[in-house]
Chains A and B, each alone.
Chain A
Amino acid sequence: MSRRLTGALSALAMLVFAGTAAAEGELNIYNWGNYTNPDLIKKFEETYKVKVTITDYDSNSTALTKVKAGGHGFDIVVPSANYVPIFVNEGLLLESRPDQMSNFKNVDPTWVDVPWDPGRKYTAPWQWGTTGIAVNTDAYSGDPNTSAIFMDPPAELVGKVNVVPEMNDVIGLAIMYVGGKPCTADKDVLRKVRDQLMAAKPKWQSMDYGMTEKMSNGDVMASVNWNGSTFRVRAKNPKVVYGYPKEGYVVWMDSVAVLKDAKNVENAKLFQNFIMDPENAALISAFARYANGIKGSEKFMPEDMKTAPEIVVPEQFKAAGTFLPTCPKEARDLYTAIWTELRK
Chain B
Amino acid sequence: MAEPALQPTPGRRFAVRRIPGFATIAAVSFVLLYAPIATLVAYAFNAGDSIALWEGFSLRWFAVAWGNELVQEATVRSLVVAASASAVATAVATMAALGTTRTAPFPGGMLIYALINQPLMVPEIVTAVALLIVFAMVKIATGYSGLGYLIAAHAAFCVPFAYLPIRARLEGMDLSYETAAADLYATPWQTFRRITLPLMSPGIVAGSMLAFVISLDDVVITEFVKSAGQDTLPTYMLGQLRRAVTPEVNAISTALLAVTVLLLSAFFVLNRQRR
Contacts and interface: CB of A to CB of B under 8 A. Distances in A.
A contacting B, Cβ–Cβ less than 8 Å: yes
Interface residues of A, number: 28
A53 B136 CA distance: 20
B86 to A, nearest CB: 10
B15 interface: no
Interface of B: 50-52, 76-77, 80, 83-84, 87, 132, 135-140, 145-148, 151, 227-231, 239, 242-245
A212 B84 CA distance: 38
A209 B140 contact: no
A342 B94 CA distance: 50
Interface of A: 9, 12, 15-17, 19-20, 28, 30, 33-34, 53-56, 58, 69-74, 208-210, 212-213, 217
B242 A209 contact: yes
A261 to B, nearest CB: 9
B135 A19 contact: no
B153 to A, nearest CB: 14
Given A20-B146, A71-B136, A217-B245, A30 B52 contact: no
A212 B229 contact: no
B227 A71 contact: yes
B128 to A, nearest CB: 14
Contact of B228 (A19, A55, A58, A69): A55
B228 A16 contact: no
A58 B227 CA distance: 17
A12 B83 contact: yes
**Which A-B residue pairs are the 7 nearest by beta carbons?**
A71-B139, A53-B229, A20-B146, A73-B228, A73-B227, A28-B228, A210-B243
27 contacts: A19-B80, A19-B146, A20-B147, A28-B228, A30-B228, A33-B239, A33-B242, A34-B243, A34-B244, A53-B229, A54-B229, A55-B228, A55-B229, A55-B231, A69-B132, A69-B136, A70-B139, A71-B136, A71-B137, A71-B138, A71-B140, A73-B228, A73-B230, A208-B242, A209-B243, A210-B243, A213-B244
Chain B CB within 10 Å, residue with most, of A9, A15, A71, A72: A71
